[in-house]
Structure 1
């Protein structure tokens, strides 16, 4: 039974889990929900910063209004006779203002104009004309959170004369007015936050979220069928970061598709080579049996080249077995021994198909020794020398010097082998992919496997294969192989002398 994919809010298709997790993105975790939520939170935080000075200013304006009202009533009382005002009228007046007492100071003279009952203590003194911003904020928060049963003394000048009016009042009406103002501000802030979130979402959705969803769908679609060219994203003509991301994703998908095609080609080629190599090994085994009979021939010339032929057949059989085992394991670790490099170079020379006009110089000292695997180092030098001979064979001009030279030097515990030829040099494309199989060949029809194999074998020795120079008339490859490290216990045993 097949599972039909579905499309969720973020544009990703859900289906069977890959890599231990689902590809479906819940609505609550999508970019849209996160963007709206964050916008609302940030706008509310901004409104909180605006709310604090607003509520402090509202408190001071409320107190000033009460003080102005008391001043207006006090002017009438001052012009008339305050004593003629009955107790009932004073209580009604004070109740209307919300005060316990009203007083006025004119110069150095203070008069109590109306009083209901004097509280035992005053919790806060507020000078409406000389209260700083910090004091306003602190007082507003105290009234908002801890008020309702506190007594305030509010005073300050009113008008252009020198009179200063004073109120003694409870703060429950002030706190109720502040709470009502706060609710209104909170409701307005919430509406502004939601409206701002929708506007921001509409803008960001068009600029960012929609192309991000398109890239997400493209990646999921490409992962299902990476060999399908139609699954590659088509980038938009944008100059911003999203445009760059789309173009990079498109190029990455193209490179990945090309690499997968090459890997499939290599797999198919490897299978074909293994089949051919299996039959080749049988043919070489038969040739090896026939060559053994050459040892019984008494001819001197046959006895001279028979060992070289047997050695070549042994190496060929070993190579075929290595190719068959390559798909199951890595290259066998080198069996390192101390070798005479001069003789090994001579064996390489004997197996090279060197045409007329090409010189071969073995410049390695006869006593030079190297710590390496004989067969693997032979393969490395053979590949380098064969490439050099093939490169120089393309030059048919008889006046050109065509020479292949192999030299070596030791620097402490490191041996450096130089393979130098006077060929035309490597083209730039070959130098860029020098050690990449099927891409680093310098001639038409080549596979580039020789240098790739040589590099792998040198690395197995802990060394390095590199191109030192490649210009018209001179190409130099360097093979650097360090000696095997000697264990401390082995060195101590070698230093012990028999008793």
Structure 2
């Protein structure tokens, strides 16, 4: 613990700040800005063909007006129109000259001030969209001081009308149109962004924010069941995420509870272990005196008693090690399995009416750690005996059979009993400590320890069969692999 309370408070404040997302950096703000940006981008893509179409429509309208004036002038006498009248007509249209081409003959109908040159020729009937967009951008950026020649047919007339005009009015009209479109686009983007934001915020952001708060709250007190998120009844990805998060939090709570059980078990065993070792030491002294007795029965019994006491000490330390750390690596040797099974039989507290059958062949050898394999078989055999001991019906066959077989370099030990079988809950949590017990009040540590010891040998424990009247566990232990260097050394030795 830190000696400076202010430093602890500062560290807590920094941790809280790291867990809090500012509004400006949150998903909501990012979503709103991205929506506005994307809508504006879409409006820009729409604006280009729109302003190009507006430019061509404006020019066609002027050309149509010029065509109407041309019809009047052609039917009358263009020379009879005074100069001031021609100027008024051209000024109203924003043009400097009007001409008509009929049958290959071009006639100048009205002219105010003929320019020396024309900057751009626009055929309103033959201009494509790409060319129109390029022309619109050119007019917006560089226009205002250039002269245009606009020509083409109007309606069903076979005549072609021409209009010479400056582009100043056209550019002013396009700028006004662009400002209107930009304002509408901005307003549309804000409305769209607001609607999209409100919809996505309700559908996605709020549930994600709720999951974030749940995870932060759960991390502060993971053992509190009220901190587990309550998933909504949704069938989409958010609903799946909420349900998975809820199940993960529940599994984590169970794991923490199991770890707490293991820690409590380790603490309890560590308190008991000291006194138990003293008691067993006294028992070992008394057993040493029993060796001096001349009674043959006592002489035969004393070594078994010593081995049992040694194993009792090792078991208390092994339970403590299981609650605290992992098992030690196995010290593997070649063993005669039948003799080891006989020792397991001698240690079991088998009640009346239960038969123990050692069906292991006398010459069967296995490559394993003697103490760890003894513990493994003892746990499995004791579970079988306890399951059969619960049946008190005298007519029932209660038999525990231990057999073995070898397939190549793999040894397989079968522990079969005629008990009632495992209940479904025990089969679901078969090798889980504190959850895999088939008896009321059991801890389930026996199968968990057996599985850990078998895996330390590179094998495993599996439930082969479990029905009423027959339960079979199989322990698989492969021989340890031969080191390549050692095998080469043996092959190189002279015969």
* Common fold: TM-score over 0.5: yes
Alignment of 1:77-88 (within 5 A): 77-84=73-80
Q: Would you say 1:214 and 2:210 are equivalent positions?
A: yes
- Are the equivalent residues in 2 in contact too, given 1:99–1:168 (CA < 8 A)? yes
Alignment of 1:100-499 (within 5 A): 100-115=96-111, 116-120=113-117, 122-126=119-123, 128-158=124-154, 160-235=156-231, 242=238, 245-246=241-242, 248-326=244-322, 329-498=325-494
Between the aligned partners of 1:443 and 1:463, the Cα distance in structure 2 is 26
Question: By how many angstroms is 1:481 displaced?
Answer: 0.7
Between the aligned partners of 1:250 and 1:466, the Cα distance in structure 2 is 30
Q: How many residues align?
A: 489
Comparing 158-167 with 23-32, greater Cα deviation is found at: 158-167
Question: By how many angstroms is 1:277 displaced?
Answer: 2.3
Task: Determine the structure 2 residue equivalent to 1:8.
Answer: none
Q: Deviations over 1:42-61 (max 9, x none)?
A: 22223223222321210111
- Are the equivalent residues in 1 in contact too, given 2:266–2:324 (CA < 8 A)? no
3-state secondary structure, aligned to 2:405: strand
Question: By how many angstroms is 1:424 displaced?
Answer: 1.3
Distance 1:441 1:290, change over 3 A: same
Task: Determine the structure 2 residue equivalent to 1:38.
Answer: 34
Between the aligned partners of 1:345 and 1:419, the Cα distance in structure 2 is 11
- Are the equivalent residues in 2 in contact too, given 1:151–1:168 (CA < 8 A)? yes
Between the aligned partners of 1:424 and 1:480, the Cα distance in structure 2 is 24
Question: By how many angstroms is 1:248 displaced?
Answer: 4.9
- Are the equivalent residues in 1 in contact too, given 2:412–2:476 (CA < 8 A)? yes
Comparing 53-62 with 89-98, greater Cα deviation is found at: 89-98
Q: Deviations over 1:343-387 (max 9, x none)?
A: 111111111122222222211111111110000001111111111
Distance 1:313 1:3, change over 3 A: closer
3-state secondary structure, aligned to 1:16: helix
Distance 1:160 1:482, change over 3 A: closer
Question: By how many angstroms is 1:98 displaced?
Answer: 3.3
Q: Deviations over 1:175-215 (max 9, x none)?
A: 33222211221111101111222233334444443444333
Question: By how many angstroms is 1:132 displaced?
Answer: 3.7
Distance 1:461 1:81, change over 3 A: same
- Are the equivalent residues in 2 in contact too, given 1:342–1:366 (CA < 8 A)? yes
Task: Determine the structure 2 residue equivalent to 1:10.
Answer: none
- Are the equivalent residues in 2 in contact too, given 1:278–1:320 (CA < 8 A)? no
TM-score after normalising by structure 2: 0.89
3-state secondary structure, aligned to 1:111: strand
Between the aligned partners of 2:479 and 2:158, the Cα distance in structure 1 is 105
Distance 1:309 1:157, change over 3 A: same
Between the aligned partners of 1:204 and 1:148, the Cα distance in structure 2 is 46
Distance 1:295 1:258, change over 3 A: same
Question: By how many angstroms is 1:241 displaced?
Answer: 5.2
3-state secondary structure, aligned to 1:438: coil
Distance 1:159 1:380, change over 3 A: closer
Question: By how many angstroms is 1:100 displaced?
Answer: 4.0
Between the aligned partners of 1:376 and 1:266, the Cα distance in structure 2 is 20
Between the aligned partners of 1:54 and 1:330, the Cα distance in structure 2 is 75
- Are the equivalent residues in 1 in contact too, given 2:417–2:471 (CA < 8 A)? yes
Gaps of 5+ in 1: 6-13
Gaps of 5+ in 2: none
Comparing 245-254 with 378-387, greater Cα deviation is found at: 245-254
- Are the equivalent residues in 2 in contact too, given 1:274–1:323 (CA < 8 A)? no
Question: By how many angstroms is 1:239 displaced?
Answer: 6.0
- Are the equivalent residues in 2 in contact too, given 1:233–1:249 (CA < 8 A)? yes
- Are the equivalent residues in 1 in contact too, given 2:119–2:147 (CA < 8 A)? yes
Between the aligned partners of 1:484 and 1:211, the Cα distance in structure 2 is 53
Residue of structure 1 aligned with 2:44, choices 41, 48, 71: 48
Between the aligned partners of 1:124 and 1:408, the Cα distance in structure 2 is 102
3-state secondary structure, aligned to 1:22: helix
